[in-house]
């Protein structure tokens, strides 16, 4: 034993020093250090705690509150003065508020926090401003992230971030729980639409843009026009084994590092100030209790110096749901020692009592507390909250302006993805007569999806007056006289999101007799998080029935899918002449769709995920070679090989593009070197169009079975008819790297293939 100790003590000391040294790298800001030095334990713990607005509002619970919304000043004082809380989140009564209401809420809270507490530390208010400022009436709504990803347009994604930051600051709020950088690799997951899709490079690139949009080009979050972003949910949320929200994920280390870490690593490098933790469990461990993921990986290896906030009630969940901690207090100890800095409690103050006790009992060290509080106060300081604790809406004249609307509209236009266009049925003539049908045809709720005025995106009528549904937009485009509307199926009012019902399908069929085309808008109703779980990815039976009934009329069907994830359409797709994926395009999505359908805008969106053909085949484009084993085709039926409805990166245009002259400047790449890939793209059609040029590489042989191909670059260009542009990409050895069996990023020497559209070229990498 003694011998063991003699050996262990120096090792432990070394480890302790290393950890201390690494942890101490968090920036020391003199003003913050001065405050920290004066703080009592209770004041420090209070800074680490956050409750939801319902807790301090008169008559509030999750869905209702007394209107007009009124803060309960006794409860406000209990939270901010007695418990010394450092943060409040969310809306109250479950719905969006006006700019005036937000100003009242945040300024009242800041007055109490700054004038009635010993140290006068301002609170930091946070909300989910997910595709625009979710909880502010009149804010500019963009397509949800999955639609933004379909634009493959870095500039538009950054612009969306900037506008959201501006309008959130106009709402007096400086902290946004966005973006979602979980991987959208499983279409069953109810939050797939909150992601940038299935590819880690695309998600990383757009992640950097949106974070820079939120925080400013130099992360100048002290400016009243930017705010602190909160990439989430670290780490491995998005691919639970069952596809259902907050259920166990089994992710080998190699996969975790290859596909889940990089987007977070990139935004940390890009300066993101806060990060939210994954509410689920990875390999049996609740992430909120994972020292390995939160401290060793996030804070030490990735060097994250900002503040780590929990997700909703997730410290409790370690005890009540995941049963890893036998009491709530034990759960608090686990989470804080794992590396959590702030608890989104969110309904009571027990966390504070437990944490004070734990420190007094020596179960949580004061240095851990100081580290957490330093991270929190640093963010507050950088937000300039002491000088400008509350921003005022009158200083934000561009809130909801034409200028902002145009950008949201442009993003919606560029997100729309044309997946099929047999016989060039689209664009439609403007003098055509059309039947508009389907449960998504006349709904603002379905265009927006969740996180739109309310959490589930339901009950939004009071906020969406004046915006156009698909039906409104089609009528505006070709005149009411040319449009007949029969919904055929509707989402059942006041029922779970997945419930729909027939509404006289025969009437829709009869109406088709007198029209030239059928615009059939199907998909999903809005949902968010756990309530959006499903048992079957197939499109609903009623919607399939409607599509089949309309197909029998023989009229050409234009199928519009308005959905958060790709619902299976295999059996009805052959009946459609054209298929358009609109995703969740937001308030301007109806207008944007009509522009595309009637040819006033040439579509250029590209699928940010593989659209599956079967519910049992949810394989992504970057799969291993063994997903396709048809070399013995003819002898056996290999029908079950990798087969998709529409591939990743796919999307049609009303013009045509020709790729030629794929040239590498060298066939040899060496360590520290780079190789330039150039390709010519010509618009061979008769109208202007945008094209997303996509660069893929394949590692032909590697020590870990290589993915068949990986996206390594993309560029969106605009071409006039007849015009040719030359597009170049640079590849460095590290761009080709993968995670090997020792969990190291390596580029192994050997042959690589470059692919742009159907053109390929090979090169060798030597060390």
The whole-angstrom separation of Cα 347 and Cα 61 is 10
| Cis ω for the linkage preceding 346 (within 30 of 0) | yes
The minimum distance between CB 664 and ligand BGC, in angstroms, equals 43
Segment 504 to 533, residues that bind ligand BGC, using CB under 6 A: 529
Mask for 117-146, x = binds ligand BGC (CB under 6 A):
-----------x------------------
DSSP string for residues in 137-156: TTPPPPPPHHHHHHHT-HHH
| Using rule CB under 6 A, residue 171 touches ligand BGC | no
Query: Do 281 and 322 meet the contact criterion of CB atoms below 8 Å apart?
Result: yes
The whole-angstrom separation of Cα 104 and Cα 175 is 17
CA 335 to centroid of chain Cα atoms: 25
The residue (of 232 and 259) whose beta carbon lies closer to ligand BGC is 232
DSSP letter at 192 equals G
The whole-angstrom separation of Cα 320 and Cα 328 is 8
The minimum distance between CB 344 and ligand BGC, in angstroms, equals 6
Segment 662 to 691, residues that bind ligand BGC, using CB under 6 A: none
SS3 214: helix
Phi-psi region of 197 (alpha: psi -120 to 50; beta: other; left: phi over 0): left
DSSP letter at 436 equals E
DSSP letter at 426 equals P
Query: Do 766 and 749 meet the contact criterion of CB atoms below 8 Å apart?
Result: yes
Q: Using alpha carbons only, how large is the chain's radius of gyration in Å?
A: 27
| Using rule CB under 6 A, residue 232 touches ligand BGC | yes
The minimum distance between CB 279 and ligand BGC, in angstroms, equals 5
The minimum distance between CB 372 and ligand BGC, in angstroms, equals 19
The minimum distance between CB 230 and ligand BGC, in angstroms, equals 7
The minimum distance between CB 725 and ligand BGC, in angstroms, equals 40
Q: How many residues bind ligand BGC (CB under 6 A)?
A: 8
The residue (of 178 and 442) whose beta carbon lies closer to ligand BGC is 178
- Residue 699 among the catalytic residues: no
The residue (of 182 and 691) whose beta carbon lies closer to ligand BGC is 182
Q: Which residue carries 């004082």 as its tokens?
A: 77
The residue (of 213 and 706) whose beta carbon lies closer to ligand BGC is 213
| Using rule CB under 6 A, residue 421 touches ligand BGC | no
The residue (of 128 and 691) whose beta carbon lies closer to ligand BGC is 128
The minimum distance between CB 232 and ligand BGC, in angstroms, equals 6
Segment 704 to 763, residues that bind ligand BGC, using CB under 6 A: none
Other C-beta atoms closer than 10 Å to the C-beta of 656 total 14
The minimum distance between CB 187 and ligand BGC, in angstroms, equals 19
The whole-angstrom separation of Cα 260 and Cα 77 is 41
User: Residue ranges of the alpha helices (H) in 48-153?
Assistant: 73-77, 99-115, 145-151
Q: Which of 617, 525, 517 is nearest to 576 (CA)?
A: 517
Distances (CA, A) of 473 to 444, 516, 585: 12, 18, 14
The residue (of 312 and 614) whose beta carbon lies closer to ligand BGC is 312
Other C-beta atoms closer than 10 Å to the C-beta of 499 total 14
| Using rule CB under 6 A, residue 83 touches ligand BGC | no
| Using rule CB under 6 A, residue 311 touches ligand BGC | yes
Tokens of 83: 């418990």
CA 402 to centroid of chain Cα atoms: 25
The residue (of 51 and 150) whose beta carbon lies closer to ligand BGC is 51
Q: Pick the catalytic residue: 128, 199, 311, 533?
A: 311
The residue (of 267 and 515) whose beta carbon lies closer to ligand BGC is 267
The residue (of 526 and 645) whose beta carbon lies closer to ligand BGC is 526
Given 65, 90, 151, 452, the residue binding ligand BGC (CB under 6 A):
90
The minimum distance between CB 60 and ligand BGC, in angstroms, equals 15
| Using rule CB under 6 A, residue 177 touches ligand BGC | yes
| Using rule CB under 6 A, residue 279 touches ligand BGC | yes
| Using rule CB under 6 A, residue 296 touches ligand BGC | no
Other C-beta atoms closer than 10 Å to the C-beta of 639 total 9
The whole-angstrom separation of Cα 165 and Cα 180 is 16
| Using rule CB under 6 A, residue 347 touches ligand BGC | no
Given 225, 312, 347, 638, the residue binding ligand BGC (CB under 6 A):
312
The whole-angstrom separation of Cα 225 and Cα 555 is 51
Q: Which of 656, 675, 648, 676 is nearest to 723 (CA)?
A: 656
Catalytic residue numbers read 311
Chain contacts with ligand BGC (rule: CB under 6 A): 90, 128, 177, 232, 279, 311-312, 529
């Amino acid at each position: 034993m003694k011998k063991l100790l003699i050996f262990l003590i120096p090792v432990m000391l070394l480890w302790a020093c290393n950890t201390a040294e690494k942890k101490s790298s968090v920036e020391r800001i003199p003003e913050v250090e001065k405050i920290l030095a004066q703080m009592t334990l209770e004041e420090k713990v209070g800074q680490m705690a956050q409750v939801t607005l319902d807790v301090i509002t008169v008559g509030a619970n999750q869905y209702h509150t007394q209107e007009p919304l009124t803060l309960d000043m006794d409860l406000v004082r209990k939270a901010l003065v007695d418990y010394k809380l450092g943060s409040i989140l969310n809306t109250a009564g479950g719905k969006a508020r006006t700019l005036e209401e937000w100003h009242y809420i945040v300024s009242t809270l800041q007055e109490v926090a700054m004038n009635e507490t010993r140290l006068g530390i301002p609170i930091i208010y946070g909300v989910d401003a997910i595709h625009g400022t979710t909880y502010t009436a009149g804010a500019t709504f963009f397509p949800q992230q999955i639609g933004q990803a379909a634009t493959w347009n870095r500039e538009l994604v950054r612009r969306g971030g900037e506008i959201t930051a501006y309008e959130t600051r106009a709402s007096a709020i400086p902290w946004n729980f966005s973006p979602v950088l979980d991987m959208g690799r499983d279409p069953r997951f109810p939050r797939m639409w909150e992601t940038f899709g299935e590819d880690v490079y695309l998600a990383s690139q757009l992640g950097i843009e949106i974070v820079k949009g939120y925080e400013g080009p130099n992360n100048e979050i002290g400016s009243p026009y930017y705010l602190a972003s909160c990439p989430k949910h670290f780490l491995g949320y998005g691919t639970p084994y069952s596809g259902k929200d907050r259920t166990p994920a089994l992710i080998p280390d190699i996969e975790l590092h290859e596909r889940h870490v990089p987007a977070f690593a990139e935004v940390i490098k890009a300066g993101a100030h806060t990060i939210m933790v994954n509410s689920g469990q990875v390999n049996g461990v609740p992430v909120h209790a994972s020292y390995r993921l939160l401290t060793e990986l996030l804070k030490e290896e990735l060097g994250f110096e900002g503040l780590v906030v929990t997700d909703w009630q997730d410290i409790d969940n370690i005890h009540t749901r995941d049963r890893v901690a036998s009491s709530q207090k034990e759960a608090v100890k686990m989470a804080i020692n794992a590396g959590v800095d702030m608890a989104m409690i969110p309904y009571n103050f027990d966390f504070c009592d437990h944490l004070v006790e734990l420190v007094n009992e020596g179960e949580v060290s004061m240095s851990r507390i100081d580290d957490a509080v330093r991270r929190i106060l640093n963010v507050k300081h950088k937000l300039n909250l002491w000088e400008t604790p509350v921003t005022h809406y009158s200083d934000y004249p561009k809130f909801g302006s034409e200028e902002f609307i145009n950008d949201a509209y442009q993003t919606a236009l560029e997100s729309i993805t044309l997946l099929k266009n047999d016989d060039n049925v689209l664009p439609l003539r403007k003098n055509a007569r059309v039947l508009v049908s389907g449960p998504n045809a006349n709904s603002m709720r379905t265009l927006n999806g969740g996180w739109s005025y309310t959490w589930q995106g339901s009950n939004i009528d009071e906020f969406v007056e004046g915006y156009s549904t698909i039906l409104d937009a089609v009528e505006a485009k070709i005149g009411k006289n040319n449009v007949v509307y029969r919904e055929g199926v509707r989402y059942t009012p006041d029922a779970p999101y997945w419930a729909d019902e027939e509404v006289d399908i025969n009437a829709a069929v009869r109406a088709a007799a007198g029209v030239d085309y059928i615009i059939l808008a199907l998909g999903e109703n809005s949902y968010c998080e756990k309530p959006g779980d499903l048992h079957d990815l197939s499109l609903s039976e009623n919607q399939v029935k409607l599509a089949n009934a309309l197909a029998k009329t023989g009229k050409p069907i234009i199928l519009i899918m308005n959905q958060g994830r790709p619902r299976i359409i295999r059996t009805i797709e052959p009946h459609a002449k054209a298929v358009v994926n609109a995703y969740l395009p937001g308030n301007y999505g109806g207008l944007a769709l009509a522009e595309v359908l009637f040819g006033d805008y040439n579509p250029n969106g590209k699928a940010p995920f593989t659209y599956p053909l079967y519910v049992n085949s949810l394989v992504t484009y970057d799969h291993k070679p063994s997903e396709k084993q048809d070399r013995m085709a003819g002898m056996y039926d290999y029908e079950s090989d990798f087969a998709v409805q529409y591939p990743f990166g796919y999307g049609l245009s009303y013009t045509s593009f020709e790729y030629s002259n794929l040239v590498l400047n060298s066939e040899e790449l060496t360590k520290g070197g780079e190789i330039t890939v150039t390709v010519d793209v010509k618009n061979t059609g008769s109208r202007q169009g945008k094209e997303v040029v996509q660069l893929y590489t394949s590692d032909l042989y590697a020590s870990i079975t290589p993915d068949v191909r990986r996206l390594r670059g993309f560029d969106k260009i605009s071409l006039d008819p007849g015009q040719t542009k030359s597009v170049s990409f640079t590849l460095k050895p590290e761009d080709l790297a993968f995670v090997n069996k020792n969990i190291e990023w390596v580029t192994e020497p050997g042959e690589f293939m470059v692919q742009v559209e159907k053109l390929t070229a090979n090169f060798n990498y030597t060390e």
